[in-house]
Chains A and B, each alone.
Chain A
Amino acid sequence: MLITALKTPHELRLAVPTFWPERLMWENFAEVFRKIPFWRYFANTAIQTVGIVVLQINVALMAAYAFAKGSFPGRDKLFLLVLAALIVPDQVTFVPVYVMMADLNWLNTFYALIVPHAASAYGIFLLRQTFRSIHNDVIEAAKVDGANRLQVLYRILTPMALPTVATLVVISFINSWNSYFWPLVMTNSNDMRVLTVGIAMMRDSIAGDEMLNFHYLMAASIIVIIPIILLFVFAQKYIIAAMSNSTFK
């Protein structure tokens, strides 16, 4: 039973062409685009993902620099505050944040999807570890040459920490691409749905004659998975290395 289960992700991508005749399959894809505003969902997901990735990386780079190489009173205590945020899941904060978004009139906008996830405690933690391993002389040398903090961070530290930055980009991309709970709570208009929510809704709307439409769901699912697979194939080394490292520390 497990072996069957283990094979399926693989088969799923191949299963559609084998289970349905080639000709029909392409019609399924076309039908998906007719049935739901697929590209709208796709664009929403892409905007959400890019927004979160760009914000998270920059906020984390700056914070990691401050916590690793900066000096200000209470630095290490404030870093504990960052670490503690790691144990607070979305499911604990969503009600007040929902109310906050409603007050700001941000529900059903990209702000509600992106802004609350701007700071990633995990990202700050990982980058700080990397920055700490970079020797201070490098920074001092740059400062002597007249570089300001931003230049030191983006021109010198970031290129040196590139493997970690790449890992974070990948992890943050995958997490936001796949996120479901947050967009489900923060959006309710069809125009603002992301792929995960859109597909789940599509299932609900056809629950009665599930089987008749299952191939559409599968066709839609395949398109959702493709970016992740591509990313995975290119960045697998980074991901596995990062995960193994963070376990031991």
Chain B
Amino acid sequence: MTGTEGPGAATNIKRRPKAWEYMKDFAFALPALAMLLIFIYYPLVNSFYLSFTNWNMTRPNKEFIGLDNYEKLLTGDTFYKVLGITFTYTVFDVLLTLGIGLMLALLFNVTSRFFNFMRSVIFMPHYISMVIVSMVFLWIFNSQYGLMNELLKFLGLEPVDWLTNPKTALWVLIVVSVWKGVGFAMIIFIAGLRGIPLEYYEASSIDGASKWTQFRKITLPLLSPITLFLVVTNFISSMQVFQSVDVMTNGGPLESTKAMVYWIYEMAFAEFRTGRASALIIMFFIMIVLLTVLQMYVSRKKSITKGRFISKCLHP
């Protein structure tokens, strides 16, 4: 334990009692710990408790109803529909964001004034409020005046009711999220690309490897830890999609964009079914935890195999 302190740290210069020193150090950690306990851990436990009750926020007492909330959710159709929507959104959002992000990273991994500027322009939306972004896309995909339909008309195609058609609305939301997220993926991929030693490319081109082979055999494998990081973080944040749904579609048309968090919000604050909403929250949280654990497990494995990848690349 004291090894991490370095030499001399544990010796009490002023010879105060040790417990008193501990207390003083602990006091510095206390505000943060108290806040996390009150606003993260207690609510988490409380949500878990509420999920076994039929509380509706206005009722003064909570009645314990066991697993009833979970049973109702898991036997109803809506749960699977919402889960399907959330996963469709998440999977395509992640695939497109990372795919396009990687392409942009390969294109823009050049240091020059112009490319630096372009990188900033592409990266910027990551930091712009999703509400504002949604508003802009609401206008772009407006069926009467939107840019998208103007473009279709210009190309001689039929205009589409993007946001009022159950078949296209979810895709509009995916496009919005991809547009906002590619910059971040690009920046992280570029950081990854710059971490790959140039010797690997030199060595392999002496061996006669083509650019495509180099990409497949060197770039992709060596980017895999970063890709994994991006997949998991993007996956988790995609699953929490809420703002764009709330601003652009309100879960409609015909509930075709009702994603998990929107449903939770609706259940808790429009229908006031606090107990059932809590059950949904707990199931949602378990999914996030499982994903995080999966990432930690896989990334531990990856770092072991990484060495083998590199030696394979160098000596095929």
Contact = CB atoms under 8 A, between A and B. Distances in A.
A105 interface: no
Interface string A54-71: 000001101101110111
A247 B188 contact: yes
A88 B247 contact: no
B39 interface: yes
B281 interface: yes
A63 B175 contact: no
A73 to B, nearest CB: 7
Nearest to B10: A71
Given A181-B242, A218-B139, A143 B281 contact: no
Contacts of B44: 88, 92-93
Given A91-B242, A97-B39, A140-B9, A66 B29 contact: yes
B39 A59 contact: no
Given A9-B121, A119-B35, A89 B179 contact: no
B243 A180 contact: yes
A166 interface: no
Given A71-B2, A210-B142, A9 B124 contact: yes
A94 B42 CA distance: 11
12 contacts: A4-B151, A66-B25, A87-B289, A88-B44, A95-B47, A100-B43, A119-B31, A119-B32, A184-B246, A203-B138, A236-B120, A239-B127
Interface of A: 1-2, 4-6, 8-10, 12, 59-60, 62-63, 65-67, 69-73, 75-76, 78, 81-82, 85, 87-89, 91-97, 99-100, 115-119, 121, 124, 135-137, 139-140, 143-144, 149, 153, 174, 177-178, 180-181, 184-185, 196-197, 199-200, 203, 210-211, 214, 217-218, 221, 224-225, 228-229, 232, 236, 239-240, 243-244, 247-248
Interface of B: 1-2, 5-10, 13, 21-29, 31-33, 35-36, 39-44, 46-47, 50, 57, 100, 120-125, 127-133, 135-136, 138-140, 142, 144-145, 147-148, 151, 175, 179, 182, 184, 187-188, 191-192, 195, 226, 229, 236, 240, 242-243, 246-247, 261, 264-265, 268-269, 274, 277-278, 281, 284-285, 288-289, 292
